[in-house]
């Protein structure tokens, strides 16, 4: 498995990327619902969510113990763990895997934090190459407005406060995320990400997302797993004792 | 073994007036707990295994080793990136990937590979507490029981360390010799790297600034420690200028020593790490 070559597993891997407040998670959720409604088996995985390093990352972030290198390595460890347990097995089983953020997040963010671009690309060389990666391009003000309206507070690392760019959270967010945006532009060209205008209305974007996904599903066949809901419970098909006793 | 040697080396250096900082594998403030938990639950696969140790190493390098070198200390490392190389290679990791992963490491001024044969190693390990799951590479399922696994796993590690000896310039020390003999040999290797005097210091070697990914290695069966540093008094560290040096003049004289030895994962009882790594 490698980021450099398409995988040939039976499943499909779809990825969304973008800065915080780009609306990518909303779009992925809508896509998830749509795929479910079409009867596709879907598996969802999210950046920085594995149990293996969760506590360490949390502690490291809270106490500001992380350097750019350890920050990057911890996220790579998280990614490797999820890749082994949450991405590869469902892909091998022929499922559709939806990933909220993927290696491109590291390529953009870690580089802004000062990690060498080539080093971080090599670090993630073991990743499975997605069948489709959509980048939600967002003007910085739109992202800031969305975040503020949703939770009124911007997180420390989201704003890149660890970089000491500014004492003001909003200002720091603006500077940090603008740099992340320009790194993303680089990544988009380098890895051929599909670009979505994240300032468009939600439904308009979703339509396009579905078109892009549908195009990748043309040759895809659903493998029915034993865990799928079936309209008919299987035991109904067995003869009951009373039925078999009937003359 | 490694642990004992490093402790004695440290004492000697301090008596000689050098400031010494010791650092051990998987003992970073950030990662030690995660690694222990992951090992206890056998949650690791070869990929996360490499990455957790790399994170631990990065934390110690940036928070412990580099600051100490900048402040003019001699750093003694009980195992270095070579241990990671050997373990990862044995687990089938892509060598280029692993070397690139650790490319941010500093090149030690000296890498001592405390080499010990598997049979001698087995004796030592059994005498000092016995074999454990990870030192035996049980995750690789190389044999039917702990002993077989240990033997095969440590043998593989030894081979990897031997293979690295030349390219990375390890100084091989026969670790089957008595402790004091080994110690004498280590001191002979370290001495020329230390600055002669505080004034006019002859800089001996300086730890190379990072970069290129090379690493030192620890020895198989033995432990490796890397030491780099300048005597307390002053010397500018490697690469970076020493910030805030008090006295105006600094003599550059960082030294790096690495001891490799066999031993177990816990340096305290040096069991197998050296060769193998646990």
Distance, in angstroms, between B37 CA and closest chain A CA?
Answer: 8
In a domain, A6, yes or no: no
A226 has pLDDT over 60: no
Q: Mark yes or no for CB contact A123/B48 under 8 Å.
A: no
**How many Cα atoms within 13 Å fall on the side-chain side of residue B81?**
26
Give the pLDDT confidence score for residue B133 in this predicted structure. 81
Share of chain B above pLDDT 90, in %: 46
Residues in A closer than 8 angstroms to B29, CB to CB, are 65
Q: Mark yes or no for CB contact B51/A80 under 8 Å.
A: yes
Q: Mark yes or no for CB contact B33/A55 under 8 Å.
A: yes
In a domain, A171, yes or no: yes
Q: Mark yes or no for CB contact A77/B29 under 8 Å.
A: no
| More confident position, A113 or B201 | A113
Is residue A2 within 8 angstroms of chain B, CB to CB? no
User: Which of A55, A57, A59, A80 would you mutate first to test chain B, the one with the most B CBs within 10 A?
Assistant: A80
| More confident position, A150 or B8 | B8
CA B179 → CA A26, B7, B174, B175, distances in Å? 64, 12, 10, 8
Distance, in angstroms, between A243 CA and closest chain B CA?
Answer: 50
Give mean pLDDT, residues B249-277: 40
CATH number, position A142: 3.40.50.300
| More confident position, A47 or A224 | A47
Distance, in angstroms, between B101 CA and closest chain A CA?
Answer: 6
B45 has pLDDT over 90: no
In a domain, A216, yes or no: yes
Angle at CA B144, nearest 5°, toward B141 and B147?
95
Q: What is the pLDDT of residues B114-153, one digit of tens each?
A: 999 998 888 888 887 788 888 888 888 888 888 889 999 9
What mean pLDDT, rounded, does chain B reach?
Answer: 74
Share of chain A above pLDDT 70, in %: 89
Give mean pLDDT, residues B49-67: 93
User: Which of A2, A56, A79 would you mutate first to test chain B, the one with the most B CBs within 10 A?
Assistant: A56
Give mean pLDDT, residues A116-125: 96
* Range of the structural domain that residue A226 is part of: 12-245
Give mean pLDDT, residues B234-247: 33
Work out how many domains chain A is built from and give that number. Answer: 1
Q: Mark yes or no for CB contact A66/B52 under 8 Å.
A: no
What mean pLDDT, rounded, does chain A reach?
Answer: 88
Give the pLDDT confidence score for residue A115 in this predicted structure. 95
Give the pLDDT confidence score for residue A152 in this predicted structure. 65
Nearest CB to A77; choose among B29, B51, B104: B51
In a domain, A5, yes or no: no
Is residue A166 within 8 angstroms of chain B, CB to CB? no
Domains of chain B and CATH, by start? 2-239+250-269 (3.40.50.300)
Alpha helix stretches (DSSP H) within chain B: 2-15, 32-40, 46-60, 66-70, 81-90, 95-101, 118-127, 146-165, 179-190
Give the pLDDT confidence score for residue B270 in this predicted structure. 33
Q: Mark yes or no for CB contact B34/A53 under 8 Å.
A: yes
| More confident position, A124 or A66 | A124
Residues in A closer than 8 angstroms to B43, CB to CB, are 52, 81
Residues in B closer than 8 angstroms to A53, CB to CB, are 34, 52
| More confident position, B231 or B187 | B187
In a domain, A146, yes or no: yes
Nearest CB to B30; choose among A56, A80, A83: A56
Is residue A73 within 8 angstroms of chain B, CB to CB? yes
| Least-confidence region, from A181-185, A217-221, B103-107, B155-159 | A217-221
Tell me which chain B residue has its CA closest to the CA of residue A81: B48
Q: Mark yes or no for CB contact A60/B103 under 8 Å.
A: no
In a domain, A7, yes or no: no
B255 has pLDDT over 70: no
ipTM of the shown complex: 0.77
| More confident position, B147 or A242 | B147
Is residue A67 within 8 angstroms of chain B, CB to CB? yes
Give the pLDDT confidence score for residue B128 in this predicted structure. 79
Question: How many other C-beta atoms can be found within 10 angstroms of the C-beta atom of residue A224?
Answer: 11
- Sign of the Cα torsion B68, B70, B73, B77 reads positive
Reported confidence tier of residue A186, pLDDT bands at 50, 70, 90: very high
Residues in B closer than 8 angstroms to A126, CB to CB, are 47, 97
| More confident position, B94 or B259 | B94
Q: What is the pLDDT of residues A55-87, one digit of tens each?
A: 888 888 888 788 999 999 999 999 999 999 999
Give the pLDDT confidence score for residue B158 in this predicted structure. 95
In a domain, A2, yes or no: no
Q: Mark yes or no for CB contact A52/B34 under 8 Å.
A: yes
Is residue A175 within 8 angstroms of chain B, CB to CB? no
B241 has pLDDT over 50: no
Distance, in angstroms, between A51 CA and closest chain B CA?
Answer: 10
Is residue A76 within 8 angstroms of chain B, CB to CB? yes
B14 has pLDDT over 50: yes
Reported confidence tier of residue B265, pLDDT bands at 50, 70, 90: very low
In a domain, A1, yes or no: no
Give the pLDDT confidence score for residue A52 in this predicted structure. 82
Give mean pLDDT, residues A154-168: 90
| Least-confidence region, from A39-43, A111-115, B199-203 | B199-203
Contact (Cβ atoms closer than 8 angstroms) between residue B83 and residue B217: yes
Is residue A88 within 8 angstroms of chain B, CB to CB? no
Residues in B closer than 8 angstroms to A119, CB to CB, are 100, 103-104
């Amino acid at each position: 498995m490698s980021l450099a070559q398409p995988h040939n597993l039976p499943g499909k891997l779809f990825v969304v990327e973008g800065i915080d407040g780009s609306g990518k998670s909303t779009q992925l959720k809508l896509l998830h619902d749509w795929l479910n409604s079409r009867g596709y088996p879907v598996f969802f995985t999210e950046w920085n969510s594995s149990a293996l390093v969760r506590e360490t990352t949390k502690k490291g972030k809270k106490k500001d113990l992380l350097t750019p290198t350890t920050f990057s390595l911890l996220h790579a460890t998280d990614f490797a763990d999820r890749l082994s347990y949450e991405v590869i097995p469902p892909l091998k089983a022929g499922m559709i895997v939806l990933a909220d953020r993927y290696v491109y997040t590291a390529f953009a963010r870690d580089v802004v934090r000062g990690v060498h671009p080539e080093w971080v690309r090599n670090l993630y060389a073991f990743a499975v190459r997605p069948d489709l990666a959509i980048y939600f391009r967002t003007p910085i003000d739109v992202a800031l407005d969305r975040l503020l309206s949703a939770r009124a507070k911007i997180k420390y690392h989201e704003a890149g406060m660890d970089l000491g760019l500014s004492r003001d959270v909003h200002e720091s967010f603006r500077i940090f995320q603008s740099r992340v945006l320009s790194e993303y532009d680089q990544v988009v060209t380098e890895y051929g990400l599909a670009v979505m205008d994240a300032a468009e209305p939600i439904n308009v974007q979703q339509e396009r997302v579905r078109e892009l996904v549908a195009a990748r599903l043309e040759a895809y066949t659903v493998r029915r797993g034993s865990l799928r809901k079936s309209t008919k419970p299987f035991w109904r098909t067995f003869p009951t004792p009373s039925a078999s006793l009937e003359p | 073994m490694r642990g004992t040697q490093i402790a004695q080396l440290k004492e000697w250096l301090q008596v000689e007036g050098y400031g010494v900082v010791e650092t051990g594998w998987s003992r970073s403030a950030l990662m030690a707990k995660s690694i222990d938990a992951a090992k206890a639950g056998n949650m690791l696969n070869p990929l996360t295994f490499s990455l957790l140790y790399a994170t631990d190493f990065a934390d110690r390098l940036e928070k412990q080793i580099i600051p100490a070198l900048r402040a003019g200390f001699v750093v003694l490392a009980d195992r270095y990136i070579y241990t990671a190389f050997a373990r990862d290679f044995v687990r089938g990791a892509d060598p280029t990937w692993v070397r690139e992963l650790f490319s941010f490491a500093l090149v030690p001024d000296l890498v001592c590979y405390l080499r010990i044969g598997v049979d001698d190693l087995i004796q030592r390990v059994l005498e000092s507490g016995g074999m454990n799951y990870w030192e035996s590479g049980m995750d690789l399922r190389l044999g039917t029981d702990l002993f077989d696994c240990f033997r095969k796993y440590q043998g593989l590690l030894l081979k990897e360390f031997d293979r690295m000896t030349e390219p990375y310039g390890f100084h091989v020390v026969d670790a089957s010799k008595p402790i004091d003999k080994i110690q004498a040999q280590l001191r002979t290797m370290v001495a020329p790297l230390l600055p002669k005097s505080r004034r006019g210091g002859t800089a001996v070697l300086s730890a190379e600034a990072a970069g290129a990914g090379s690493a030192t290695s620890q020895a198989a069966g033995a432990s490796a420690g890397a030491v780099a540093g300048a005597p307390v008094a002053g010397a500018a560290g490697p690469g970076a200028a020493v910030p805030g040096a008090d006295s105006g003049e600094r003599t550059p004289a960082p030294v790096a020593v690495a001891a490799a030895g066999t031993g177990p994962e816990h340096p305290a009882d040096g069991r197998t790490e050296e060769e193998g790594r646990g």
